[in-house]
Chain A
């Protein structure tokens, strides 16, 4: 049974119905009188009392339901702000969260946040973020500089631009204030500080501009064969056809240049000699570097050193 016109519900019911009522009038300018004309709780008392009571209820709605109904002081009316996501946008996010589980961030978020009451037992993908990602979120958003201890104990002050992956490692792309260069900082090389945050935000918000370049989207180019500065050399590596498939998926720019029976020659333009040779070595006796002679010589020299041969 609906309530009688002058019947008052519980405070909770009033809060919920008031929220829905305002939402149903999103395009309508609503005055205090409109509220008093519809809800007995705000009628019958003086305007100031009603205004204060409505103000308290709207604050509760904002704090507990995360729904903001604003008062326009210059025009004397209330209006509900538009939702941050449409219903379909929210539904699509819930579907994504059901398939992709993101661990290591916001794990203690309230269940009322989108996706945090979601059953993820059927998730197909688990992404584990380094814990430090959560410390970098706000400075990146607010364009605030940060300081941290890096590698063997260097204090770095940087402009944090974005976080991303290169291969299976996570990096911070940032401008190093020491020399002004934009660099990739491996997150697992930022040192933890006992009892304190590893990342310390310093200075004002909006302290820098983030350059608009392709590094702001997609994966980071951290493969040495992409950023290396050695004079390019064309290398040829012999291996089985099976391994060639894996090798080409692993080394940026590698391609099968010829096949004979079960064997293949993989070609690749080398831009970082040491990194490339180390990579070749990691495949052990399953690959053989054939060309160019200068890289083969370097490889032999490396093996001699590591084997202890003269």
Chain B
């Protein structure tokens, strides 16, 4: 048989084993369509591995333990024996290793009972191997806020969760008390969020956990909500404000978090002109002053005025 054909077969089988191991049952009919192979042929390739045994010339029956089986047209992981993928001797490509290292480092910082399932120390060992492959280490990127554990404790794993009363500080620093039903926690871009139902207005929202000042029991239970896949990012486009400033280039390094640099032009006097995007009104006000007096707001006109008014308002509190 041509080597190319065996290569393709091996690649397909290894891909299906990866899916069965990492994501669950693999329907062979769908896989046959995807890989453009007749179902009979694909099934035979998979069977070659799943029923792997051979009587050797010595008469010995060689029958390695295989952790997969075929059931009702699907390749499934069965039991907890090792996989042929456990034999891989080649280090993953560096990009894969970086991703694994970041995931593993983040994961290991998240749990109080590190070895409840016996995989904590293997994970430390895996991290050390990945560090050598990558040539550096990565810090955890989403530090757990102080109240994250309390927020997560309210989410029941056995079908019932407890409502909570929280004191929450919004972006504009106003504080309010709310009764909420917390559905799940998740982290994007270094911040932790609680996805919840705000019982005050009946709307689903995501609150930053580090902005929750206090949390206490709300006095009743509710059915635990199913979790959703976390988004790639928040769509804040409706809240976008644009400001054009001129400033020293170094000052751009100190822009507040969440401010995006859109367009940048070098000026002849050693400064740069940049168009910044900032989301939300209170963040806009923060930005207009946080860029400091050496930065000049040059547009749009309403932003020039807004900055002056906001600065004058603050100034008055210091002059009284």
Q: What residues of chain A have their CB less than 8 Å away from a CB belonging to chain B? A: 2-7, 9-13, 15-17, 19-21, 23-24, 37-40, 43, 56, 60, 62-68, 80-97, 99-103, 105-106, 109-119, 121-129, 133-134, 137-138, 140-143, 151-153, 161-165, 167-169, 186, 188-189, 216-219, 224, 240, 242-243, 245-246, 249, 274-275, 277-279, 281-286, 288, 296, 299-309
Most chain A beta-carbon contacts within 10 A, residue among B1, B106, B313 = B106
Of B18-26, B157-165, B198-206, B215-223, the segment with at least 4 beta carbons within 8 Å of chain A is: B18-26
Shortest Cβ distance from residue A168 to the other chain B in the assembled complex, whole angstroms: 4
Contact across chains for A114 and B3 when beta carbons are under 8 A apart: no
Q: A100 contacts which of B63, B107, B167, B169 (Cβ < 8 Å)?
A: B107
Contact across chains for B119 and A9 when beta carbons are under 8 A apart: no
Query: In the complex, what distance in Å separates the CA atom of A92 from the CA atom of B129?
Result: 13
Is B99's CB within 8 Å of the partner chain A? yes
Q: Given A87-B86, A217-B137, A93–B57 Cβ distance below 8 Å?
A: no
Query: In the complex, what distance in Å separates the CA atom of A114 from the CA atom of B169?
Result: 41
Q: Given A60-B3, A106-B99, A127-B141, A19–B87 Cβ distance below 8 Å?
A: yes
Q: B139 contacts which of A121, A133, A217, A282 (Cβ < 8 Å)?
A: A217
Contact across chains for B52 and A13 when beta carbons are under 8 A apart: yes
Closest A residue to B1 by beta carbon equals A11
User: Given the complex, which residues of B lie within 8 Å of A116, measured CB to CB?
Assistant: 18, 96
Q: B54 contacts which of A3, A65, A286 (Cβ < 8 Å)?
A: A3
User: Given the complex, which residues of B lie within 8 Å of A129, measured CB to CB?
Assistant: 98, 102
Q: What residues of chain B have their CB less than 8 Å away from a CB belonging to chain A? A: 1, 3, 5-7, 9-11, 13-15, 18-19, 21-24, 44-45, 48-49, 52-64, 82-96, 98-100, 102-104, 106-108, 110, 118-120, 122-123, 125-126, 129, 133-139, 141-142, 145, 167, 169, 173, 175, 184-191, 210-211, 213, 227, 229-233, 249, 252-254, 256-258, 261, 264, 266, 272, 282, 285-293, 307-315, 317-319
Q: B126 contacts which of A20, A89, A217, A224 (Cβ < 8 Å)?
A: A89
Shortest Cβ distance from residue A242 to the other chain B in the assembled complex, whole angstroms: 5
Closest B residue to A289 by beta carbon equals B318
Contact across chains for A117 and B94 when beta carbons are under 8 A apart: no
Contact across chains for B125 and A89 when beta carbons are under 8 A apart: yes
Query: In the complex, what distance in Å separates the CA atom of A232 from the CA atom of B196?
Result: 43
Q: Given A112-B14, A275-B254, A281-B289, A134–B95 Cβ distance below 8 Å?
A: yes
Contact across chains for A65 and B84 when beta carbons are under 8 A apart: yes
Q: A279 contacts which of B138, B175, B290 (Cβ < 8 Å)?
A: B290
Closest A residue to B44 by beta carbon equals A10
Contact across chains for B107 and A96 when beta carbons are under 8 A apart: yes
User: Given the complex, which residues of A lie within 8 Å of B315, measured CB to CB?
Assistant: 300, 303-304, 307, 309
Closest A residue to B186 by beta carbon equals A124
Contact across chains for B126 and A138 when beta carbons are under 8 A apart: no
Contact across chains for B136 and A68 when beta carbons are under 8 A apart: no
User: Given the complex, which residues of A lie within 8 Å of B314, measured CB to CB?
Assistant: 281, 284-285, 303
Contact across chains for A309 and B48 when beta carbons are under 8 A apart: no
Q: Given A85-B126, A302-B293, A119–B23 Cβ distance below 8 Å?
A: yes
Could you list some 18 contacts between A and B, CB below 8 A? Answer: A5-B55, A5-B59, A11-B5, A20-B64, A60-B6, A81-B89, A88-B118, A91-B119, A93-B123, A101-B230, A102-B102, A124-B184, A124-B187, A128-B188, A152-B249, A243-B173, A278-B291, A282-B289
Query: In the complex, what distance in Å separates the CA atom of A243 from the CA atom of B171?
Result: 11
Contact across chains for A153 and B266 when beta carbons are under 8 A apart: yes
Contact across chains for B290 and A126 when beta carbons are under 8 A apart: no
